[in-house]
Amino acid sequence: MEHETFYTDLLCVGAGLAGERVAIAAASAGFDAILLSLVPARRSHSCAAEGGMQAALGNCAMGEGDSPDVHFADTVKGSDWGCDQECARIFADTAPVAVREAANWGMPWNRVVAGKAKYWKGGEEFEAEEKKDKHGLITARAFGGTAKWRTCYTADGTGHTLLYTLDNKVTQLGVRVHDRVEAVSLIHDGENCTGCVARDLKTGKLRVYLAKATLIATGGYGRLYSETTNTVINDGGGHIIALDTGLVPFGNPEAVQFHPTGVVPTNILVTEGCRGDGGTLLDVDEKRFMNIYEPAKAELASRDVVSRWMMYHIAQGKGVPSPYGDHLWLDIRHLGAKHITTKLREVYDLCRHFLGVNPINQLIPVRPAQHYSMGGVRTNSNGAAYGLKGLFSCGESACWDMHGFNRLGGNSLAETIVAGRHVGLKVVEFLEGAEVILKSSLADQGVAAMAKRIDRLVNRTDGTENVYAIKDAMQLVMMEKVGIFRNGTDLQAAVDTLREIYVKAKKIGLRSSGIGANPELALALKMPGMVRLAICVAYGALMRTESRGCHARDDYQARNDRDWLNRTLAYWRDLDADLPDLQYEPSTKVMYMPPGDRGYGKTEIIPMDAPKED
Amino acid sequence: MSRQLKFNIFRFNPEDPSSEPHTDTFMLEETPSLTLFIALNKIREEQDPSLMFDFACRMAICGSCGMVINGRPGLACKTLTVELPEEITLMPLPVFKLVGDLSVDTGTWFRATNTKIESWIHTDQEFDPEAIEERMENDLANSIFELERCIECGCCVASCGTANMREDFVGAFALNRISRFIMDPRDKRTDPEYFDVVGTDQGIFGCMGLLACEDVCPREIPLQDQLGILRRKMAFQGLKNIFKPKEKGRHRRF
């Protein structure tokens, strides 16, 4: 089978912030690196992060007294004790360094302005004195679930600006970026991963990448859902190729976050910074409600909690009726024109362009939408994937796992470059000691297998199922039955339906020729894998008979630390099977902070030492 | 009664020997708040699954979906059909290499140009992980962000008279990017060094001042101002160079 082959030390599948940060680490240490990306690197989903990244600098008045210890505690509480505390610790300690490093590379972080400043919280204005000795240092804003103002930002274009800053660094270092190239299978011998088979999305031709180390940094799997804030490329491609090895587990697939403020009807995100800066949520009577449900944190409780109360409030008949279903309002009018057109400039633009709403004097229609994948390719604290040597993962695609069952706002953008920095150094250590045998025969087999799959799709060998109909059916089941509130009956129905969809997904036949940059073929190749991921999410959720963070079971409302202080590991060992094998491991090996109350979101807790029931 | 929209879409698949450039017509019923993102996906899913176009964020921040919409470069995702007549003609952006139909290869073009203009902070200062950050005025950070908002969608390049005639012209995007670095004290490049990068016909002096770039920029970046400031700055540097010739070999050309 004719194909081009590329050799490198580090192959990064995905060129968003996490992939680029690891590539920068490798290139800075003198190693060769190639970045693969579905889209030009600067169009990666990292660019959509708006509000900022958390790092305990403690420069601004409302951040005074902050430290990595406080950040760590907020993160563990946010995760509802589902996180790996070793990783959360590394993360909180490294975040300030990563923020300053980005500043050194040109990131225009917003800065402290000394003197009296007016801020808003929960619709009330207050004054704070920004200190003279902090003038010009990196400032921060409030985000949900945090004890201090800790989210460093550049207006509300933080992800965009950070991505451009890092891609500039990648350009400077001369790292090769192969954009519009999709990894379609990993090359491995059962022990070592040595690269991937890929498809050039500009021409449709297959390629081989052989590498000493391979990193999966492909973002989340939000596109398993019909209503998501995620970009159209967040389809779980990296998870599929890892899971398909049968050796690498999908960690906590059921941990899926819904963001409170997706815009109705397009599900475009408006940043949590709106509420952080003092915006409020209003109901059909234009009255606040979060201050009643959550007296302490109000609109700034964690995302899982706010999203649940919003859906609850709508269910109480307090939603605003619309042709697109009931929604609630986000009110930032009181922040004023200057604030909105500078610090919330992107929100200002997108409300006007996509909604025809001017947020300076109008309310923004919002409703929770799928937003973030806490689950992912399970790795150890070095970012090394379970099950295959030489395979790493980092960023949203990984289950590293600092987020557990709920991620705090501002902690994902932070994770990309903080974990990226840490994992990057570990990848360099691996490369320094690597003695890797690259077998071309394995690559040839991989290419031949993929070419055969493509032929069967083009020739409709296995059937004539319509790939788009399958995608729609899968997304609908996930949205309706594996959403914010879950229960055993719906989850079982979801698993059953997804298994039927999976049978169809294996019988897809193309309606077009499949020649060149054909979009139907690209989707058809990954569709069965996407359904496998969806089954992992639904089945993981069905088996987890408790409520923790974003995983809220109506039929098991307590957080059960006695039986479920653990992480799901889903393995798909046999492609003919239609369910994963689920195993479990303790949430954390080290326990700096034993399970307790989060301080928001009323939950019954079954303690670790509670007696077992029969 | 909702409108029946008529889409005339450029079609060509360079990888298919049997494909010739032509226009296909698709009919679609207009629905409320219909954008070209939704319309094109509907056409692909319901009428022609081979139709090639690019979207990613679908919220006007990633820059994937630049195309020529009824003769004008713009982002398809933020274009509402209600703003357009019943007949909508879509063409791929010129200047960039065609991938197929409405899809063009902007990635290769922008990476090459960013490499050419050395789009990164030039500094000898090593990062010290133990040190606190250098101070900066907040207003300056905001000013840098204002120019950094460019999403490299390619609309300014596609609408540029010079870029359409000369493939070595770096385009308004690159000149704006250089303005961003000139503004940033962390970049230690001097005016003579910037002159070497953009003080040429491939750079600022290639601009004919037609300023379609400013008209079509979906991010409303003040390109006219930036091009004017940069032209003045570089012209002044050019004069200085005449009176104080540079040492031989210092002049870099691309």
Provide DSSP, chain B: ---EEEEEEEE--TT-TT---EEEEEEEE--TT-BHHHHHHHHHHHT-TT-----SSSSSSS-TTEEEETTEEEESTT-BGGGS-SEEEEE--SSSEEEETTEEEHHHHHHHHHHHTT-S----PPP-TTSPPPP--HHHHHHHHHHHT----SHHHHT-HHHHH-TT--HHHHHHHHHHHHH-TT----HHHHHHHHSSTTTGGG--S--HHHHH-TT---HHHHHHHHHHHHHHHHHHHHHSPPPTT-----
Angle between helix A440-458 and helix A519-543 axes, rounded to 10 deg: 100
Residue A210 pairs in a beta bridge with A7, A195
The per-residue pLDDT for range B161-179, each reduced to its tens digit, is 999 999 999 999 999 999 9
Second-level CATH architecture of B4-104: Roll (3.10)
Outline where A438-466 has alpha helix (H).
440-458
pLDDT of residue A323: 84
CA pair distance A151, A13, nearest whole angstrom: 28
How far apart, in whole angstroms, are the C-alpha atoms of residue A216 and residue A14? 7
What is the DSSP secondary structure assignment for residue A577, as one 8-state letter?
Answer: -
Element (H, E) at A93: helix A85-104
pTM of the model: 0.96
Q: What is the mean pLDDT of residues B242-246?
A: 73
What is the mean pLDDT of the segment spanning B84-89?
Answer: 98
Task: Give the whole-angstrom CA distance, residue A516 versus residue A202.
Answer: 7
Q: Which residue has the higher pLDDT, B244 or A332?
A: A332
List A259, A313, A407, A486, catalytic entry: A259
Q: Which residue of A has its CA nearest to B80?
A: A354
Q: Which residue has the tokens 């680490």?
A: A25
Residues of chain A falling short of pLDDT 50: none
Chain mean position to CA A28:
27
CA distance B123 to chain A (A): 9
pLDDT at B129: 95
Nearest to A499 by CA among A404, A576, A551: A576
| CATH number for the domain running over B117-239 | 1.10.1060.10
Residue B223, CA atoms < 13 Å, CB-side half-sphere: 26
Give the pLDDT confidence score for residue A576 in this predicted structure: 87
- pLDDT at position B251, please? 47
Residue A63 is given by DSSP the state G
What pLDDT shows up at residue B247? 54
| Nearest CA among A236, A202, A197 for reference residue A214 | A197
Asked whether the beta carbons of A92 and A55 are under 8 A apart, the reply is: no
Chain B residues with CB inside 8 Å of A137's CB? 132-133, 135
Shortest distance, CA B244 to any CA of chain A (angstroms)? 31
* Strand A206-216, strand A4-13: pairing: parallel
Q: Give the model's pLDDT for residue A266.
A: 86
pLDDT value, residue A285: 97
Check CB contact under 8 Å for B50 and A164: no
* A517/B142 touch (CB, cutoff 8 Å), yes or no: no
- Asked if B64's CB is within 8 angstroms of A39's CB, the reply is yes
Q: List A130's β-bridge partners, or say none.
A: A115
Would you say the CATH fold of B117-239 matches that of B4-104? no
Q: Across chain B, what does the average pLDDT equal?
A: 93
Cis peptide before A265 (omega within 30 of 0): yes
pLDDT score, position B242? 86
**Are the beta carbons of B120 and A106 separated by less than 8 Å?**
yes
Domain ranges of chain B: 4-104, 117-239
Is there a catalytic annotation at residue A551?
A: no
Residue B125: other Cβ atoms inside 10 A: 10
CB pairs under 8 A between A and B: 192
Tell me the one-letter amino acid at A547: S
Mean pLDDT of B188-196: 94
With beta carbons under 8 A apart, name residues in chain A contacting B118. Answer: 172
The predicted structure's pLDDT at residue B248: 46
Interface test with A, best of B34, B93, B111 (most A CBs within 10 A): B111
For A534, the enclosing helix (H) or strand (E) is: helix A519-543
Structure tokens at A173: 């270092």
pLDDT recorded at residue A602: 79
Mutate to test the interface with B, among A46, A112, A164, A270 (most CBs of B within 10 A): A164
> Is residue A573 among the annotated active site residues?
no
ipTM value: 0.95
- Per-residue pLDDT at A614: 60
Q: Specify burial of residue A305 (Cβ count, 10 A radius: 0-12, 13-18, 19+).
A: buried
Average pLDDT over residues B86-111: 98
Our CA dihedral for A34, A39, A43, A47, rounded to 10 degrees, sits at: -70
Computed on alpha carbons and rounded to an integer, the radius of gyration of chain B in Å comes to 21
Query: Which residue's structure tokens are 């959360």?
Result: A88
Substitution target from B33, B65, B82, B145 for chain A, most A beta carbons within 10 A: B145
State residue B254's pLDDT score: 42
Q: Parallel, antiparallel, or unpaired for β A176-179 and A33-37?
A: parallel
For residues A397 and A14, is the Cβ–Cβ distance under 8 A?
A: yes
- Find, among A367, A263, A255, A273, the residue nearest to A312 by Cα: A367
- Chain A residue numbers with beta carbons less than 8 Å from the beta carbon of B133 are 99-100, 103-104, 109, 137-138
Which chain B residues are closer than 8 Å to A172 by Cβ?
Answer: 118, 120
